[in-house]
Amino acid sequence: MGFERASVEAALHLFGSEEAALNHLLGQPNENTANAAEGTNLSEIHGTDSSLGAAEVEGRSDAEGPLSQSEAKIRDVEMEDEITEELQNADAYSDYDIEVTKEGEAIAEYLALLSSAQNA
């Protein structure tokens, strides 16, 4: 539905049930985004003391969250370099050569069986 995770968790904690929290979020979507921009949370809106406010949840998620864009770009470049190096060092025909060798051995064995069957 497009709600921020922090505001959903705060609403669930504040209202206690999913239905009440959803009704609140659906009824006041602009209020939640405006308050998130100002750094307030649902407990400040309703005047209740909540130990799990939106700002606290956001702070926690940033510490354990995904990589920043610059870190992700650095990892992407490193992965691209590794893949490129592997491709440059690999022999394109090595896997094909192994298969041809195995097939050649199998054909030679088959021909040997045919010739032994004809001689018998």
Model pLDDT, residue 76 = 87
**pLDDT per position as a tens digit, 26-83:** 887 554 444 444 444 544 544 544 444 444 444 444 444 566 888 888 888 889 988 8
Mean of pLDDT values over 10-35: 74
Read off the amino acid at residue 96.
Y
Q: Which tokens hold the place of 40?
A: 């307030």
**pLDDT per position as a tens digit, 95-105:** 677 788 889 99
Read off the amino acid at residue 110.
Y
Q: Which tokens hold the place of 31?
A: 């209020």
Model pLDDT, residue 65 = 55
Distant-in-sequence, close-in-space partners of 55: CB < 8 Å, separation ≥ 6: 6, 39, 40, 41
CB 117 within 8 A of CB 109: no
Model pLDDT, residue 113 = 95
- Which of 18, 27, 19 minimizes the C-alpha distance to 46? 27
- Which of 86, 29, 68 minimizes the C-alpha distance to 11? 29
State the residue for tokens 């999913």.
Answer: 18
- Which of 53, 82, 79 minimizes the C-alpha distance to 67? 79
Rounded CA separation 9/52 (Å): 8
Model pLDDT, residue 49 = 47
